[in-house]
Amino acid sequence: MEQQEQEGTGNNNECLVCRVTYSIYSNFPPMPSAMALNVETDEFFPQDVLLSYSTGHQMAAALGYSWACNCRGRKALAALTAKDRIHDEQYTLKDADGRVMRDTYYTVRLPSGALVHGITDKLGRTKRYRTSGAQSIYIYLGHTQEA
């Protein structure tokens, strides 16, 4: 594949795969709830993370096809490490007998230490919580000021 300069990325030389990837995704508007798929790992991640990258090569790596990259003098980026991935999780609260805990007050302690209060829905689900990489969050029953 022919190597060309790509405008808008600091004039880095990019192969056609990276150029096409950049030309497609760089024109997408922000979509906070949209998800993109890494085809190698079958994992979804927020599309806005993809839009934050400044080169097609970074985008191709995030999407899981940097192996197709043919940029001279550059090795394909390995799949993003676990600490680089955004985790977006929702939890279902159940009692000791396995019944969902609907309309239940709960408090989440995020990795930053911030406390977030919520009420489970009719299926016992919490709101979605995002973390940068694999991090622990703690869920407590009831609304608490100190967890």
Q: What is the 3-state secondary structure (H, E, C) of 45-58?
A: EEHHHHHCCCCHHH
Average pLDDT, the chain: 78
**How far is 86 from 131, CA to CA, in rounded Å?**
6
Please, which residues have CB within 8 angstroms of residue 114's CB and are 6 or more apart in sequence?
A: none
Residue scoring higher pLDDT (42 or 123) = 123
Has this prediction a pTM greater than 0.85?
A: no
Percentage of the chain modeled with pLDDT above 90: 23
With a cut of 60, say whether residue 35 has pLDDT above it. yes
Residue scoring higher pLDDT (55 or 144) = 55
The per-residue pLDDT for range 107-146, each reduced to its tens digit, is 998 888 888 899 999 999 998 887 777 778 899 998 766 6
Please, which residues have CB within 8 angstroms of residue 24's CB and are 6 or more apart in sequence?
A: none
